[in-house]
Amino acid sequence: MEVHNRYVSLKNHINEAPSESDLEIKTTTLSLEPKEGSGDVIVKNLYLSIDPYQVNRMKFYSSSQETSSFSQRLPLGQAIDANGVGEVVASDNAGYKKGDLVAALIGWEEYTNIHGGGGVFRKIESTEFPLSYHVGVLGLSGFTAYAGFQYVCKPKKGDKVFVSTASGSVGSMVGQYAKLAGCYTVGCAGSKKKVDLLKDKLGFDEAFNYRDEPDLKATVKRYFPDGIDIYFDNVGGEMLEAAVANMNVFGRIGVCGAISEYTDSTKRAAPDTLAIIYKRITIQGFLAADYLQSYSEFIKDTSNYLRQGEIHVLEDISLGLESLPSAFVGLFRGDNVGKKIVQVIHD
């Protein structure tokens, strides 16, 4: 049996911010009968992860394209691989059977053939939590926050922690992990609504709208009169410079992302090197994938926090594959609050 399979593809490579017209929805056919001996797993996609890093794959050139297999430059016209959750509809793989729910590297499409089953990240054995959580809070976004904060930033009770894109998918989790670790926690975000959410719902000690602040170094100083011990950086650019200027000695900066630089090739952080030396600041870039051995510990801890109501989940779900281009482009306008997900609607 064959199905029509709609997918989102890149129409042309880009240099700066993406627009919806850079993406198009195309249709192909997909056989739902895996070849015998192939190990293939065919999945009906249910929830798709919408992530900023994809923009770097869409560019003519980005240094990220040279470093990891999953950040390679995207070919034009093909489905774009992405994380998500799906239901197995056919399998030639002993590890998976029809009806299994999986978190996997699938694609911005309605169905994916996971060749040899290698892209399956894990089976979702329990339906205790909504399936979408396995894309966000219990998926790679939550794990990025968990691993980056625990293993790169190495928090101690009482540390003073600063988080950028604090109402986003990763940032909202970092801030909540920081509060659970007994840290004084300040976040920045791009609107008053987001700032209120951080303080009123997520329990941040303080938050500010960086768009209202002409002098970021002075602003960060205002929120951290005694300096920052940990900066979890999602944006790069001037905010990284402002954080470095306000770090304490032996401060740690976990460089998770640099979204302000993704869409502006002229913007590159130039933090004060002397401050880094004399304050003995550790600045470490990381990829969540480096810490996958800790995934089960993350699931256990975060599931417990969820059960006890100690973590507030922020999800922003758009409906239907046709909503995907605008969902993706919206990340770079700050449209999303929390984890941006597209729910695929099947007839």
Ligand X SMILES: NC(=O)c1ccc[n+]([C@@H]2O[C@H](COP(=O)([O-])OP(=O)(O)OC[C@H]3O[C@@H](n4cnc5c(N)ncnc54)[C@H](OP(=O)(O)O)[C@@H]3O)[C@@H](O)[C@H]2O)c1
Site string for ligand X, 48-77 (x = CB under 6 A): ---xxx------------------------
- Smallest gap from Cβ 261 to ligand X, in A, equals 8
Find the binder of ligand X among 9, 112, 132, 260 (CB under 6 A): 260
User: Is the Cβ of residue 41 or residue 178 nearer to ligand X in the bound state?
Assistant: 178
Find the binder of ligand X among 183, 256, 324, 327 (CB under 6 A): 256
- Smallest gap from Cβ 208 to ligand X, in A, equals 11
Check residue 331 for interaction with ligand X (CB under 6 A). Answer: yes
Q: What angle is formed at CA 16 by the lines to CA 11 and CA 22, rounded to 5 degrees? A: 20
Size of the site for ligand X (CB under 6 A): 30
- Smallest gap from Cβ 267 to ligand X, in A, equals 8
Q: What's the per-residue H, E or C state across the chain? A: CEEEEEEEEECCCECCCCCHHHEEEEEEEEECCCCCCCCCEEEEEEEEECCCCHHHHHECCCHHHHCCHHHCCCCCCCECEEEEEEEEEEECCCCCCCCCEEEEEEECECEEEEHHHCCEEEECCCCCCCHHHHCCCCCHHHHHHHHHHHHHHCCCCCCEEEECCCCEHHHHHHHHHHHHCCCEEEEEECCHHHHHHHHHCCCCCEEEEHHHCCCHHHHHHHHCCCCEEEEEECCCHHHHHHHHHCEEEEEEEEECCCHHHHCCCCCCCCCCHHHHHHCCCEEEECCHHHHHHHHHHHHHHHHHHHHCCCCCCCEEEEECHHHHHHHHHHHCCCCCCEEEEEECCCC
What burial class does residue 346 get, using C-beta atoms within 10 Å of its C-beta: 0-12 exposed, 13-18 middle, 19+ buried? exposed
- Smallest gap from Cβ 173 to ligand X, in A, equals 8
- Smallest gap from Cβ 255 to ligand X, in A, equals 8
User: Is the Cβ of residue 240 or residue 344 nearer to ligand X in the bound state?
Assistant: 240
- Smallest gap from Cβ 347 to ligand X, in A, equals 30
Check residue 113 for interaction with ligand X (CB under 6 A). Answer: no
- Smallest gap from Cβ 190 to ligand X, in A, equals 3
User: Is the Cβ of residue 6 or residue 59 nearer to ligand X in the bound state?
Assistant: 59
Check residue 101 for interaction with ligand X (CB under 6 A). Answer: no
Which of the ranges 80-88, 98-106, 216-224, 284-292 carries the binding residues for ligand X, by CB under 6 A? 284-292
> Residue 141 has which token pair?
């976004």
- Using alpha carbons, select from 310, 287, 316 the residue that is nearest to residue 176: 310
Assess contact for 262 and 286: CB atoms under 8 A: no
User: Is the Cβ of residue 85 or residue 258 nearer to ligand X in the bound state?
Assistant: 258
Find the binder of ligand X among 113, 165, 246, 343 (CB under 6 A): 165
Which of the ranges 7-15, 114-122, 257-265, 268-276 carries the binding residues for ligand X, by CB under 6 A? 257-265
What's the gap between Cα 280 and its chain centre?
29
Check residue 170 for interaction with ligand X (CB under 6 A). Answer: yes
Binding to ligand X in span 184-223, by CB under 6 A: 189-191, 194
- Smallest gap from Cβ 239 to ligand X, in A, equals 7
- In angstroms, the Cα distances linking 289 to 18, 66, 93, 121 are 25, 16, 24, 11
User: Is the Cβ of residue 48 or residue 88 nearer to ligand X in the bound state?
Assistant: 48
User: Is the Cβ of residue 5 or residue 263 nearer to ligand X in the bound state?
Assistant: 263
- Smallest gap from Cβ 25 to ligand X, in A, equals 22
Check residue 144 for interaction with ligand X (CB under 6 A). Answer: yes
Q: Which residues bind ligand X (CB under 6 A)?
A: 51-53, 141, 144, 165, 167-171, 189-191, 194, 234-235, 256-260, 286-288, 331-332, 334, 336, 340
